[in-house]
Amino acid sequence: MRLDLSVLYSGQPMAFPDRAPTADELMNDDDAMGRMAGWLVRNLADRATAFRRGDEQGVLLRFEG
């Protein structure tokens, strides 16, 4: 079974970093929360891909079970 989920939104493109931000980065870096969200999504989904459609950003998530 597979679930593909596509989400469109206005804002900054989502990045999927290889590591979570440190506690210091979370406290002192304005972009760290976005990186944490991307890191969490990357580790929860089987596949995560960012894309752009017109003026909107998008994320395609795949969950397999």
DSSP for 17-35, written as a single string: -SSPPPHHHHHH-TTHHHH
**DSSP-based three-state secondary structure for 33:** helix
What global pTM score does this model have? 0.81
Convert the pLDDT of each residue in 11-34 to its tens digit: 999 999 999 999 999 999 999 999
- Beta strand 47-53 with 2-9 is unpaired
- Side chain identity, residue 14: M
38-55: pLDDT as tens digits: 999 999 999 999 999 999
Q: Which of 63, 62, 45, 53 is nearest to 13 (CA)?
A: 53
